Amino acid sequence: METKEINKLLDDIQDAKTEIQKLGRTVFKLSSLVAELRESDKMAIRSSLDQHPLFENEQVIFTKIDEFYKASVGYIELLRDINMQVVNLSGKPNLKI
């Protein structure tokens, strides 16, 4: 690979990590919002069951949720492995105790 391609690879790894950090902040925000739902909000969610794509295909909704999050964990683990490989290739010592 050329230096330009190597730099793009390193930038893409950092960008992916940054996106995960952004996602983490969004997830914590969503967690807070769900924890603060009032009864009227819960009723509004129940009335949205037929109207929102989040609730489509009721027969497999929980299977799809499980598959999605299992795949997502796999993506995070793969990114970690890629990051570790590149750092190891850099020759930087692992100072983790």
The tokens of 81 are what? Answer: 């492995």
Rounded-to-integer distance, Cα 14 and Cα 55, Å: 34
What is residue 78's predicted lDDT score, i.e. its pLDDT? Answer: 97
The tokens of 74 are what? Answer: 């796999």
Contact between 19 and 27 under an 8 Å Cβ cutoff? The reply is no
What is residue 40's predicted lDDT score, i.e. its pLDDT? Answer: 95
What is residue 97's predicted lDDT score, i.e. its pLDDT? Answer: 60
pLDDT along the chain (97 residues), means of 10: 94 97 97 97 87 85 94 96 94 78
Give the single-character DSSP code of 87. H
